[in-house]
Amino acid sequence: MEQYKQEFIEFMVDCQVLKFGDFVTKSGRKTPFFINTGFYRTGGQLARLGGYYAKAIREKFGTDFDVLFGPAYKGIPLSVAASIAIHEQYGSDIRYCSNRKEIKDHGDKGILLGSPIQDGDRVVIIEDVTTAGTSIQETLPIIRAQGNVEVLGLVVSVDRMERGQGTKSALKEIHETYGLETTAIVTMADVVEHLYNRPYKGRVIIDDTLKAAIDAYYEQYGAEE
């Protein structure tokens, strides 16, 4: 596993973005782990997060595209932080764009904030975590309504590796349904590999008991390969 992925996993733990216990996802699944990117709350944290996204984006899509689109609301700071990081790390001046939940009818009018999307633009969508893949159904029409654009794909922070609407993972369903390339900074398999029975800051985060609970969760909700 690449060094930056190991660092990102530890970064999520430090920021309390990645937690283990008893949780219920938006889709109603009881899960022993939870990822909440709302816990990235400082400028320093967002700067580091943007850097990790930038590495994952460059590996999958390169940096020769035009717009990084972050769906409201959590995608807004992600698109800003990652576009800054891409510029600082790789010298590419990517425009950022997000949507508003409500259309604004005065001042900077319309449904978009940040850069407008224009004919011929190549767009990468950035999100936090995709579990069921439902948000892409709302996002794609907004982007494609702006003109003749090419949506290259989707990047998320963590691939939960569980079933979406059917038996395959949400990211794989998005690829097959919409023809979009998808990638994640890390997968949950990466998380387990890095943290299982390995002390971090004086404690083992994923011990045998928690590993068994994660395995049981994936037996029930895990996606087909």
The residues assigned a catalytic role are 104, 106
| Amino acid at site 61 | F
Count of residues in the chain: 225
| Rounded distance between C-alpha atoms, residue 153 and residue 160, angstroms | 18
Beta strands in 14-106 (DSSP E): 18-24, 30-35, 67-70, 95-104
Contact 78, 128 (CB under 8 A): yes
| H/E element, 141 | helix 135-144
| Rounded distance between C-alpha atoms, residue 102 and residue 84, angstroms | 26
Q: Exposed, middle or buried by CB within 10 Å (0-12, 13-18, 19+), for 42?
A: exposed
Handedness of CA 157, 160, 165, 169 (dihedral sign): positive
Contact 165, 173 (CB under 8 A): yes
- Torsion on CA atoms 156, 161, 166, 168, rounded to nearest 10: 100
Classified as helix, coil or strand, 88 is helix
Residues facing residue 124 across a β-bridge: 68, 153
